[in-house]
Amino acid sequence: MKNSFLVAAALMALAACTAPKETEVPLVYDVENTGAAFAAPSMPARDALPRVMGLTDPLAWSEGSGRVEDFASWSRRRAEIAQEIQHYEIGTKPTVDPSQVKARMSGDTLIVDVTVGGETLTLSSVITYPSMGKAPYPLMIGTSHISLPHSIFEARPIALMTYHERQVNGYSQFRGELDRTKYNFVRLYPDLIDNGAYSEWAWGLSRLIDGLQQLGPEVTKIDTRHIGVTGCSYAGKMALFCGAFDERVALTIAQEPGGGGAAAWRVSHEMEGVEDLDRTDYHWFLESLKENFHGDSVYQLPYDHHELCALICPRAFLMLGNPDFKWLADPSAYVSVNAARKVWEQFGIADRIGYSIVDGHGHCQLPESQFPEVEAFIEKFLLGNDSIDTRDISIAPLYKDSVDVNRWIDWR
């Protein structure tokens, strides 16, 4: 029953998204994963994988049988990338049948109970509604919290909600909560105890969206076709993984996500003093990622994080960087996002991806100089203001003439 539901949902989504013309490429979907019906590609062991010194081609089929040429094939290719990232890097994001989710509102608090194998995990988040506009409202979800200035949202009819990721996985890099057997997620999925946190956190955010869909706009006052997710630093990575792995998220804003986020592992490997595959937190990722792809073995990864970014296509994605903090590896993110952009360009929708990498401000403290880029993406992709032009939001003055993107791309 569960598998038939997933197949039916995926086929319905694919039928809805077939787009012979650019104007028909969807902005968002009603299902979590349009590629759920596709079989996983083969997952070779590290020693059987070729060395690829540049960035891998995000449009090339995993089995080497050519490239994606039309948008109708993208969902299948996207599914391949998602399955590879789960297999090699973060662990499984399990599927959930709608019957396992029960949602309710208590005042302005959304409460979602997820029951698997007789165990129940409860998520709760307060929705802060705007003082203007008319329901149903677009919703911006902050992973851990919203670090973007609240003045950006106070002037707009957008609801806000915080996703409390510790309700899924109790880890905090500041508190050293490392006993995975105590995590709520592991109670439901004990066989996934080796998962990285980012697969589990992405799973949890998807369950909140399940709850919003289940209750509907009459109860929640939320327009589930206009959901955004944002976060900064480790939560910027979280926002990126959440947006990449749930196609119901219309807009992803990853603020200063650093290495392991938008930055490509290969590019970061050739930099000094940055967060790379050998120097990151291995609660966040599968420990086998480091065991198999440490050092120069990174060139044998069958994908890289430009493909993680590309999972968001055809939906909207904005990456915000801060060159003042070397650890964030922003030159690597600059290369990665420009490489990912080729996917949006392939389908004639490059206005849906942008980046702004600007120095002169504190970590997770968006300067006013970056407000226009953020406001443009929010206006266009959360509020539906089609008069906003986002085609030229490619801002990185420190890297534009000094970082060689073409060195990493030989598949254009």
The predicted pLDDT at position 233 comes to 97
pLDDT along the chain (412 residues), means of 10: 39 40 80 97 97 98 95 98 98 98 98 97 98 97 97 96 94 68 92 96 98 98 98 98 98 98 98 98 96 98 98 98 98 98 98 98 98 98 97 97 96 82
Q: How far apart are CA 321 and CA 262, in angstroms?
A: 10
Domain boundaries, the chain: 98-408
164 is catalytic: no
Please give the model's pTM, rounded to 2 decimal places.
0.93
Given 233, 268, 332, 356, the catalytic residue: 233
The predicted pLDDT at position 7 comes to 37
Structural tokens at position 225: 């076709």
User: Coil, strand or helix: which one is 29?
Assistant: coil
Q: How far apart are CA 255 and CA 231, in angstroms?
A: 6
Given 87, 145, 363, 394, the catalytic residue: 363
The predicted pLDDT at position 176 comes to 60
Task: Encode pLDDT of 199-218 as tens digits.
Answer: 999 999 999 999 999 999 99
363 is catalytic: yes
CB-based contact 88:106 (threshold 8 Å): no
The predicted pLDDT at position 12 comes to 40
Nearest-CA neighbor of 63 among 82, 47, 40, 85?
Answer: 40
DSSP, res 305: H
CB-based contact 251:237 (threshold 8 Å): no
Q: How far apart are CA 366 and CA 362, in angstroms?
A: 8
Q: How far apart are CA 279 and CA 269, in angstroms?
A: 10
The predicted pLDDT at position 15 comes to 41
Could you tell me the fold of the domain covering 98-408? Rossmann fold (3.40.50)
